[in-house]
Amino acid sequence: MQLEQLLQKHFGYPSFRPGQKEVIEQLLNGRDTIALLPTGMGKSLCYQLPAYILNKPVLIISPLLSLMQDQVDQMKQFGEKRAVALNSFLNRQQKQHVMNSLHNFRFIFISPEMLVQPQVKNRLNQLELALIVVDEAHCISQWGFDFRPDYLKIGDVLKENRPPVLALSATATEKVLEDIRRFLKMKEPFEYIHSVDRPNIRYGKKIFPSKEEKTQWLLNHVSHTQGPGIIYTRSRKRTDEIASLLLELGLSASSYHGGKDAEDRQFIQQQFIEGALDWIVATNAFGMGVHKADVRQIIHDTMPSNVADYMQEVGRAGRDGKDAVAILLYSDGDEEVVRFIAGEDLPNEAQMELYDEYVRRNIHPKEMMHNGLISETSFRVLHYWMGLYPKEQVKSIFRQMVMEKYRSINDMLSIIKSEGCIREQLVHYFGQKLERKPEHCCEHCGIDYGEFLLPRTETHLKKKTFTWQIRLRQILLGTD
């Protein structure tokens, strides 16, 4: 049977999206493959179809527990019951049950820390797998923006006689690609790299002499143009500040950050998706797992810390394929704040000394975290490296990492400061060539914002206040 027929049979789609067919063909030929496909381009189909064709289990290594659960839930919603997530959320009994019936599953999602457990490793080695998939593969590279030390161990688990490996990611620079090939021990992999360019997004940029003028411009812009939109900021405080200013202007907006109550965060997402809320002012905590196709504007209140983050955040606009605008705001000295924050995420030298001291005094270094002397993220990274190398070497590794972060910030900054085409520079950053420039390409090529941004229509939404009895009835019974 042709691949298209199989696609129709198993998924009901008449044709592939760009890249899917190429990737699947290579995998069926037994070749290791790296696929860089933007979010929303059907990455998961690249391993789902081969699973049905080869009729053997597929192992999917995934970094985020919540993402993993989402994927399993989604598969189940579409009728695939033979999907399971092996992660630390399972209790011992559940884990044992899954382990015993592992061969019955078609899709086995697993976290990297679970993968290296001897019991799990042995069990997986007994299985005949169709494929090994490494999702969010850029996490393996310490040059990536999302480095997870646990990912490095994946390579150790792969035996000589293994099925093909598929590494998936949305964005990766050449340096990150190199790491993926090396740490996953890939053999002359086939690489499908989709253009990172999103032609329907226009890249705007505004430079201001001061933060006050920037804020003024932002408020004015948002009051006069139509959303829905997301405003990204760098701090919780700034997020709340802008949201309050917008609310005072009578706009429908809310702030969103990790400091909010979990239910509140859900309410905000739901209000935004359903159009009850026009603007979200968020830290980078917002976005993952939020599917809204008609976001028309993304505004960066300050510069992002690297180009990959920027692309990911901008990529949340115009998923419906219609025109969208991304505007980056910059005022002199913004990079100083970004540099300061970049250093904060990583363990500092005092913490490394302390770690050493804890070990010498026979106290588990984890206590540093419990004593509030280090953040959880920093500890995770520190613990990994201190387990591998002596202190002095770790110090120099981290010095290098900080330098690397600063370099990423400078890369972003030079795009902001340059007078060249923004789109071209973004695409070049990922080692790709821009095929075609759309009209109204970017700030430097010239954008007529009026073409893309509708003037804000004053929505005189009468705020209907219901009694609790009526609200309850509408929620449960749906009638007035």
Q: Summarize as ranges the residues that interact with other proteins (CB under 8 A).
A: 66, 73-74, 77, 89, 247, 254, 260-264, 266-271, 274, 276, 465, 467-469, 471-478
Q: Please identify, using beta-carbon distances, which residue of 88 and 400 lies nearer to other proteins.
A: 88
Two tokens, residue 151: 């990912």
Q: Please identify, using beta-carbon distances, which residue of 249 and 276 lies nearer to other proteins.
A: 276
**Nearest distance from C-beta of residue 431 to other proteins, angstroms:** 36
Helix, strand or coil, per DSSP, at residue 134:
strand
Closest CA to 151 of 172, 135, 130: 135
**Nearest distance from C-beta of residue 271 to other proteins, angstroms:** 5
32 contacts 165 by C-beta, under 8 angstroms: yes
Q: Please identify, using beta-carbon distances, which residue of 55 and 469 lies nearer to other proteins.
A: 469
Residue with tokens 């770690």: 355
Distance, CA of 384 to CA of 116 (rounded, Å):
14
The DSSP bridge partners found for residue 83 are 107
Q: Please identify, using beta-carbon distances, which residue of 265 and 391 lies nearer to other proteins.
A: 265
Distance, CA of 123 to CA of 99 (rounded, Å):
7
Distance, CA of 171 to CA of 201 (rounded, Å):
17
**Is the N-terminal amide bond of 228 cis, ω within 30° of 0?**
yes
Q: Please identify, using beta-carbon distances, which residue of 268 and 401 lies nearer to other proteins.
A: 268
**Nearest distance from C-beta of residue 263 to other proteins, angstroms:** 6
Q: Please identify, using beta-carbon distances, which residue of 60 and 280 lies nearer to other proteins.
A: 280
Query: Counting beta carbons within 10 angstroms of the beta carbon of residue 403, is it exposed (0 to 12), middle (13 to 18) or buried (19 or more)?
Result: exposed
281 contacts 254 by C-beta, under 8 angstroms: yes
Q: Please identify, using beta-carbon distances, which residue of 433 and 464 lies nearer to other proteins.
A: 464
135-147 as b/e: b if 16+ CB within 10 A: bbbbbbbbbbbbb
Which amino acid is residue 467, in one-letter code? Answer: T
**Nearest distance from C-beta of residue 79 to other proteins, angstroms:** 11
Closest CA to 169 of 143, 144, 188, 187: 144
Two tokens, residue 5: 């027929």
**Nearest distance from C-beta of residue 351 to other proteins, angstroms:** 25
**Nearest distance from C-beta of residue 293 to other proteins, angstroms:** 16
422 contacts 415 by C-beta, under 8 angstroms: yes
CA triple 188-191-195, angle to 5 deg: 160
**Nearest distance from C-beta of residue 70 to other proteins, angstroms:** 9
Q: Please identify, using beta-carbon distances, which residue of 275 and 387 lies nearer to other proteins.
A: 275
**Nearest distance from C-beta of residue 261 to other proteins, angstroms:** 7
Between the CA of residue 169 and those of 29, 34, 132, 452, what are the distances in Å?
Answer: 21, 8, 14, 30
430 contacts 171 by C-beta, under 8 angstroms: yes
Count of beta carbons in the 10 Å neighbourhood of residue 270: 12
Q: Please identify, using beta-carbon distances, which residue of 275 and 321 lies nearer to other proteins.
A: 275
Q: Please identify, using beta-carbon distances, which residue of 1 and 262 lies nearer to other proteins.
A: 262
**Nearest distance from C-beta of residue 264 to other proteins, angstroms:** 4
What string of H, E and C letters represents the secondary structure of 286-353?
Answer: CCCCCCCCCCCEEEECCCCCCHHHHHHHHCCCCCCCCCEEEEEEEECCHHHHHHHHHHHHCCCHHHHH
**Nearest distance from C-beta of residue 259 to other proteins, angstroms:** 11
Distance, CA of 52 to CA of 9 (rounded, Å):
10
Q: Please identify, using beta-carbon distances, which residue of 340 and 466 lies nearer to other proteins.
A: 466
**Nearest distance from C-beta of residue 209 to other proteins, angstroms:** 33
102 contacts 90 by C-beta, under 8 angstroms: no
